[in-house]
Chain A
Amino acid sequence: EAGVVQSPRYKIIEKKQPVAFWCNPISGHNTLYWYRQNLGQGPELLIRYENEEAVDDSQLPKDRFSAERLKGVDSTLKIQPAELGDSAVYLCASSPTADTQYFGPGTRLTVL
């Protein structure tokens, strides 16, 4: 069974530029999560989707971050404009039930 797929794996941009990350969850997993992991820290939830509905976006900085999951399958996370402090690893996860989450390899973002 294929795992959670994310692209790109690495992205380097200059500040004030836009950037987008893509995630394809494990087939059949209705719940999708986006996390941000700062260096030396654990992941922190940005947004959770149940199918195409964002049911928890309380930690998403809505002034510059946006996300969508239009057909309830793959998802895109966007930052516009990016700031230096956005440099981090952005992780996508999916789950089939109310419990265990499965993570993708992440996208490492560097903002110069």
Chain B
Amino acid sequence: GNSVTQMEGPVTLSEEAFLTINCTYTATGYPSLFWYVQYPGEGLQLLLKATKADDKGSNKGFEATYRKETTSFHLEKGSVQVSDSAVYFCALSAYTGTASKLTFGTGTRLQVTL
């Protein structure tokens, strides 16, 4: 079946540091890939997505590239801010008929300090 593996957290960084959160996946076919972010006490917000190999999703300074050869979708940001502190979920979407079924990783907590 489909699965997503993320690096375990928490990841603790100083403000303005470079961020990488690793994500690899196992899936049949050609899934779409997503990063969602969950701030404390809130639901999941879509951060970025990529729908085919070599696509790069980007939003709010975050980027991730769909790498089919390594089945990876690593999240990066060049300079993190304290406001980026949250839990980040990698997910893949398997198309089943008329809608998608999301499979999530376990999440990676990011803590950014001054």
Q: Which residues of A contact B (CB under 8 A)?
A: 4, 6, 31, 33, 40-45, 48, 50, 55-56, 91, 93, 95, 98-106
Contacts and interface: CB of A to CB of B under 8 A. Distances in A.
Given A91-B44, A105-B42, A105-B43, A41 B49 contact: no
Nearest to B42: A105
**B interface bracket (residues with beta carbon within 8 Å of A):** 20 to 34
A91 B102 contact: no
Contacts of B36: 103
Given A100-B46, A100-B49, A106-B43, A41 B102 contact: no
Interface string B92-112: 010111111110111100000
Given A40-B106, A40-B107, A42-B106, A101 B89 contact: no
B100 A101 contact: yes
B104 A55 contact: no
Contacts of A102: 46
10 contacts: A41-B107, A44-B104, A99-B100, A100-B46, A101-B100, A101-B102, A103-B36, A103-B44, A103-B45, A105-B43
Contacts of A4: 43
